[in-house]
């Protein structure tokens, strides 16, 4: 009888401490979920507010991308961390303003990715880019990939 009683009590004891962990552990809000920048709308693509980060980087680039010829424009080098914003396609800025742009843009990426819970897919379908100076602004265009495998 004792044996049957212990077998009947064992399952409830085994599951007594199970259940949703969320009930005891509060949800920590990530830097991505709370990210905001000026007039950029909150928008989600792959991760929370990554559309707002892309908007922010474009807004920052617009301060650093005046040009008079194609040779003025260079691709910025950013550590994309948890986002692909600013890396595909790369942002093109004025050669002489590149360091200042990279510093300001990297601070924004760092703020967005500070305690990230999501990482963008970072897939880039365009693999070759070329700098352009269009309407007195640095930009890019995709280069055709040579056929033949």
Distance, CA of 76 to CA of 86 (rounded, Å): 8
| Closest among 121, 56, 49, 31 to 84, alpha carbons compared | 121
DSSP state of 22: G
Residues of the chain with pLDDT under 50: 1, 5, 7-8, 10, 12-22, 148-149
* pLDDT for residue 105: 97
* pLDDT for residue 87: 80
Task: Give me the residue spans of the domains in the chain.
Answer: 32-142
**Cβ atoms 112, 82 nearer than 8 A:** yes
Q: Model pTM?
A: 0.75
* pLDDT for residue 145: 60
* Environment class of 147 (CB within 10 Å of its CB; exposed 0-12, middle 13-18, buried 19+): exposed
* pLDDT for residue 149: 45
């Amino acid at each position: 009888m004792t044996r049957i009683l212990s077998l009947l009590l064992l399952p409830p004891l085994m599951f007594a401490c199970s259940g949703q962990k969320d009930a005891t552990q509060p949800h920590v809000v990530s830097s991505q979920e709370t990210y905001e920048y000026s007039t950029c709308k909150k928008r989600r693509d792959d991760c929370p507010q990554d559309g707002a980060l892309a908007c922010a980087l474009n807004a920052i680039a617009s301060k650093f991308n005046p040009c008079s010829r194609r040779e003025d424009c260079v691709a910025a080098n950013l550590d994309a961390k948890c986002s692909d914003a600013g890396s595909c396609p790369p942002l093109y800025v004025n050669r002489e303003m590149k360091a200042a742009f990279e510093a300001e843009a990297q601070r924004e990426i760092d703020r967005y990715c500070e305690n990230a819970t999501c990482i963008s897919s970072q897939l880039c379908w365009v693999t070759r880019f070329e700098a352009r100076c269009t309407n007195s602004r640095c930009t890019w265009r995709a280069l055709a990939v040579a056929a033949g495998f």
